[in-house]
């Protein structure tokens, strides 16, 4: 009996040690992933980086995005990015990533600027469940008539997942939703954008929904040399 009790005690102790070990390893893995995400760059804007995206609407149509480098736009140091033939200007710091927004309307051959400024599109650090809002209102005189313009940007980090693309498999990917709502006079337009951001790579997939839907997925990326 004493021998049986000894074996039973040994088994219970071994099971306890195994359970503690599993909990310890699981906890460490979770902490490692959290630390990895916290120290990774999910929106790299380094000179020379290039991304090739395939447009889902046409399997032969691609979009090339390239970081040109440091520049200045409207009196602020920024980073110039070419998206195809279109130029974008970004500002990145520890708390947010801002993009230059330029919106104008044409009346009788004249352009009237409704908005021309850097807006917050991504809040840092990226944390699952976090959300943000950037609201701007302006009144512009158009041939003696006051036009009220309002541009609201809302964003949210929806989830963390793995994603598989023609350019490879990416893990610990943040999936975000951004909604641009523009009120211009009596008109209203809304664009909902979805982004998948991979560590040290950036956007590996994106989808834009308004009147039409465009989805782009990465097929190649060239990191900074």
Residue 212 falls within a domain, yes or no? yes
Residue 198 falls within a domain, yes or no? yes
Residue 201 falls within a domain, yes or no? yes
Confidence band of 25 (pLDDT split at 50, 70, 90)? very low
Share above pLDDT 90 across residues of the chain, in percent, rounded to a whole number = 76
- Same domain for 34 and 62: no
- Same domain for 171 and 71: yes
Domain count, the chain: 2
Distance CA 78, CA 118 (A): 10
Query: What is the token pair recorded at 150?
Result: 């309002």
Residue 137 falls within a domain, yes or no? yes
pLDDT at residue number 113: 95
pLDDT at residue number 33: 85
Residue 128 falls within a domain, yes or no? yes
Confidence band of 129 (pLDDT split at 50, 70, 90)? very high
- Same domain for 32 and 61: no
- Same domain for 191 and 108: yes
- Same domain for 59 and 24: no
- Same domain for 205 and 107: yes
- Same domain for 4 and 111: no
Which residue range(s) make up the domain with 170?
Answer: 50-222
Task: Report, as an integer, the average pLDDT of 13-37.
Answer: 60
pLDDT digits (tens, 9 = 90+) for 135-145: 999 999 999 99
Greater pLDDT, 30 or 174: 174
pLDDT digits (tens, 9 = 90+) for 143-156: 999 999 999 999 99
pLDDT at residue number 20: 46
* pTM of the full structure: 0.83
């Amino acid at each position: 009996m004493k021998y049986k009790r000894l074996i039973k005690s040994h088994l219970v102790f071994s099971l306890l040690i195994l359970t503690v070990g599993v909990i310890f390893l699981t906890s460490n893995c979770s902490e490692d992933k959290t630390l990895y995400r916290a120290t990774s760059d999910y929106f790299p804007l380094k000179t020379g980086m290039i991304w090739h995206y395939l447009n889902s609407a046409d399997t032969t149509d691609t979009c090339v995005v390239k970081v040109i480098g440091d520049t200045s736009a409207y009196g602020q140091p920024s980073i110039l990015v070419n998206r195809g033939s279109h130029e974008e200007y970004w500002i990145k710091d520890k708390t947010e990533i801002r993009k230059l927004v330029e919106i104008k309307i044409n009346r009788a051959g004249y352009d009237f600027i409704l908005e021309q400024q850097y807006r917050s599109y991504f809040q840092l650090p990226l944390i699952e469940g976090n959300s943000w809002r950037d609201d701007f209102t302006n009144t512009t005189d158009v041939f003696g008539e006051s036009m009220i313009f309002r541009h609201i940007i809302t964003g949210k980090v929806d989830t963390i997942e793995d994603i598989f693309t023609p350019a490879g498999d990416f893990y610990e990917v943040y999936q975000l939703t951004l909604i641009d709502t523009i009120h211009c006079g009596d008109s209203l337009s809304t664009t909902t954008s979805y982004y998948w951001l991979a560590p040290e790579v950036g956007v590996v997939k994106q989808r834009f929904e308004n009147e039409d839907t465009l989805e782009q997925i990465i097929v190649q990326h060239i990191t900074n040399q």
